[in-house]
Amino acid sequence: IMHDPPVLRNGFRESSLIWALSSASAAWGVATACAQGWIDDCACNNQMGQNEYEFGGCTHGVQHGITASRKLLTKAGAASSLLRKVEKHNLKAGRLAIKKTLISSCKCHGVSGSCQQKTCWKRTATLEHITDYLVEKYARAKLYTDDSAVKTTDLIYLEASPDVCKAKSVAGRVCAWRNETHTQGDCDRLCCGNGFSIRHEVVRV
């Protein structure tokens, strides 16, 4: 999204998902790197306190990831247009998705695993789980108006999505014609039932 692709120049429902996924992915990547100890200033805290049950571990690495994502992707200053306002909202919703999908982890300490002391922390879910969470938000995305009542975790959009099956839009698409599982890239889906031509090409390796 840092290169401003055409799809993000309009406030479509799909645009909201791209903004949110990009923001969440950036936060997840940094938080994961923190948990692995790859970033010096957010390495995990392994020091124990005096309580039997204590939060520690890599919880603070999650916030480091969220902060890094905000600084990287959110344009500085107040939103100058309605589109920028919607963009800013969806970027934040993506970052909040990291918090909403956190998983609790605990580790016992003590002689022979007696668990006399326990350290617990919050860690990020898998990127696949976070994506599923945001796709559900995308399915329930709300059309934004001045009097819209939206939550910070909602995805919002400004205008209806274009018809991707119009002849002009379909022409020239590259698809997988031997896609027996009919997954993404399948010709029947991408060509919207309008038919397709097959071109054989010999590639030297």
Residues of the chain with pLDDT under 70: 1-2, 43-60, 77-79, 113, 147, 167-169, 180-184
Record the tokens describing residue 192, joined without a space.
Answer: 């919207």
Coil, strand or helix at 41? helix
What tokens does 22 get?
């990009």
What pLDDT score was predicted for residue 110?
Answer: 74
**Token pair recorded at residue 202:** 């010999």
State residue 168's pLDDT score: 65
The Cα–Cα gap between 72 and 78 comes to 16
Q: Is 46 left (phi over 0), alpha (psi -120 to 50) or beta?
A: alpha
Cα torsion angle, 27, 29, 32, 33, sign: negative
Query: In terms of DSSP bridges, do strands 53-55 and 117-123 run parallel, antiparallel, or are they unpaired?
Result: parallel
Q: Where are the domains of the chain?
A: 6-157, 165-205
